[in-house]
A and B are shown apart, each in its own frame.
Chain A
Amino acid sequence: MIELHDLTKRYGDTLAVDGLSFQVPRGVVTGFLGPNGAGKSTTMRMILDLDRPTAGRVTLDGRRYGQLSEPLTYIGALLEAKAVHPGRTARDHLLWMAQSNRLPRHRVDEVLELVGLSAVARKRARGFSLGMSQRLGIASALLGDPEILMFDEPVNGLDPEGIVWIRTLMKGMAAEGRTVFVSSHLMSEMALTADHLVVIGRGRLLADLPMADFIKQNSRSAVRVRTPQPETLLDALHRAGVGAEPGPDGSWEVPDGDLAFLGELAAEHRITLHELSPQQASLEEAFMQMTAESVEYRIGSGEGGQDRPAVGPAGTARTGPAQAAPAGAWGSDWQARKQKEN
């Protein structure tokens, strides 16, 4: 099991990873989510002992990565797809890896078959497309038949077919009882594959919970009602014991409202309706809200947020989710409202 204890990494003035502690649960797909520059890749490199933590530590079943003998049989990782010598064939690339960990030679052909690269096994990596390189990287992660798999942004730059392939592969690996730890900056992608969710923003842990809980907490639906007779409508709703909140452009929204009930209610009270529509807050929106808040907090807290280089969440916040979400879109401020309620 991968356990992070207060893991911290500082590059000069930049705190890339800031006191991160969590465990990757066994036998499921865990999505490691955060905006670009949140520290996901740095964390993964520290798990593999490639980068040395400034403070804190990572343990793998109680051991450091550097203490593992034949680590490929324990954890298989894909960090960068293009980290292959362009002049070496796919087969030779896997062969040296297999030899270094005393894996049998036939594993090379098995994993090439598994990722569908058998036909180009003797081709040099120079001519590989991103999709083929990604498959080769996944083949090298599977080489030692490890119980833990770790992928850094595996769907980046892939065509839809490749994305579906990776998604199916990860689910299949978890179904075999393996632990899959996969980073992404796309909530929508994780919603389809992950069973557990770890969200970080600017190197800090924002959430660590089962995917089902995240969906339950964040997928809110409502019915938007628009009428030229709002007073009559609110009155009727009040008498029916249904609460409503003001929506954009003079509309009203009924959380978890029932379309049929509201339509009948309006007809009963002869209320003219200009709109009666279901509204759904996307998980993507909830995720962006979560990470954007961490950014605002950091900048507002005066911890030198302003003079930091415009990378990562800060940059994302200025140009990205917070502003990109249309002002007044449904659910855009519900997190803030929820906090007020609490």
Chain B
Amino acid sequence: MAAFPAILQSEWTKLRSVRSTLWTLGLAFVVTLGLGALISVLANNNFEDFAPEGSPFDATGTSFAGIILGEIAMVVFGVLAIGNEYSSGMIRVSLAAVPQRATLLAGKFAVIGAVAFAVALVTVFVTFFTGQALLGVHSTSLGEPHVLRAVFGAAGYLTMICLFSAGVTAMLHNQTLALGVLVPFFFLLSPILSAVPKVKTVAHYFPDYAGQRMLLVYQESGQPYGPGQGFLICLVWTLAALGGGVLVLRSRDA
């Protein structure tokens, strides 16, 4: 058996040595922070328009407004990190070096997950503090109930969406196809379906809707479940995608 630490080291070298993959992480940071800061400034200046009637103002959620764009960058990162092996034919070189396919892919997922979580953590904390500074008197702090959980939830959400995408890419073993399926799904299909009556009861169990429950400080009315269950549903999706990726790689000719 190839040693797992050796595989982790090797996969880390692969990840850090391709610039385009790293740029998507930088992009995730920039758009999450930038859009969050922008919305925070707008909310502070036009507070009456932003404050919902009858429920408290969610300062945390406002500063995280950019996550809907940041998650797309994270999806692209997850897809590229797996998919570039297939687009270049390098998967055969990788499997010749490490023929234990499940171990190889597990190492890959572990490195992608660790890198995504580290970047997500920095992103959400910088975004949170920047947003709160810009919200002025309407800001909140980590000491308020559920706020710290929401901030960690945001980082966990971005990481799981990234790993889910990586798993789906391994199942489809095609970078272009994976991007073509995942980006429209997260950007268009899921948000639209979540708003359509009746269909939304199904859409509420999609990984992104479920994962986004982790970011909420206040319970919205008409919400089917809370952050804990949201986390579990998103986790199940992620593990299923990763497991599916392993099964496909193991059974297929490379």
Residues of A at the B interface (CB closer than 8 Å) are: 45, 48-52, 65-66, 68-72, 77, 79-80, 82-89, 92-93, 95-97, 99-102, 140
Q: Chain A residues with Cβ under 8 A from B89's Cβ? A: 80, 82-83
Inter-chain CA distance A97–B92, complex, in Å, is: 12
Inter-chain CA distance A71–B104, complex, in Å, is: 14
CB distance from A89 to the nearest CB of B (A): 7
Q: Chain A residues with Cβ under 8 A from B99's Cβ? A: 48-49, 65-66, 68, 71
Question: Would A88 and B6 be within 8 Å (CB), given that A50-B96, A83-B90 are in contact?
Answer: no
Q: Chain A residues with Cβ under 8 A from B3's Cβ? A: 69, 102
When the two chains form the complex, which single residue of B2, B14, B93, B253 contacts A83, counting CB atoms closer than 8 Å?
Answer: B93
Q: Chain A residues with Cβ under 8 A from B198's Cβ? A: none
Q: Chain B residues with Cβ under 8 A from A140's Cβ? A: 93
Q: Chain A residues with Cβ under 8 A from B9's Cβ? A: 99-100
Question: Would A100 and B253 be within 8 Å (CB), given that A71-B97, A77-B96, A88-B18 are in contact?
Answer: no
Inter-chain CA distance A96–B96, complex, in Å, is: 13
B96/A71 in contact, CB under 8 A = yes
The total of chain B residues at the interface (CB under 8 A) is: 30
Question: Chain B at the A interface: mostly helix, strand, loop or mixed?
Answer: helix
CB distance from A40 to the nearest CB of B (A): 15
B13/A99 in contact, CB under 8 A = yes
A85/B253 in contact, CB under 8 A = no
When the two chains form the complex, which single residue of A48, A85, A96, A101 contacts B88, counting CB atoms closer than 8 Å?
Answer: A85
CB distance from A95 to the nearest CB of B (A): 5
CB distance from B97 to the nearest CB of A (A): 5
22 contacts across the A-B interface (CB closer than 8 A): A48-B95, A48-B96, A48-B99, A49-B99, A65-B99, A71-B96, A72-B96, A79-B92, A83-B88, A83-B90, A85-B84, A87-B17, A87-B18, A87-B19, A87-B20, A95-B13, A97-B10, A97-B93, A100-B6, A100-B9, A101-B2, A140-B93
Q: Chain A residues with Cβ under 8 A from B10's Cβ? A: 96-97, 99-100
Residues of B at the A interface (CB closer than 8 Å) are: 1-3, 6-7, 9-11, 13-14, 17-20, 84-85, 88-90, 92-100, 253-254
Question: Would A89 and B92 be within 8 Å (CB), given that A51-B254, A102-B6 are in contact?
Answer: no
A66/B100 in contact, CB under 8 A = yes
Q: What residue in chain B is nearest A98 (Cβ atoms)?
A: B10
CB distance from B82 to the nearest CB of A (A): 12
CB distance from A11 to the nearest CB of B (A): 9
Inter-chain CA distance A71–B17, complex, in Å, is: 23
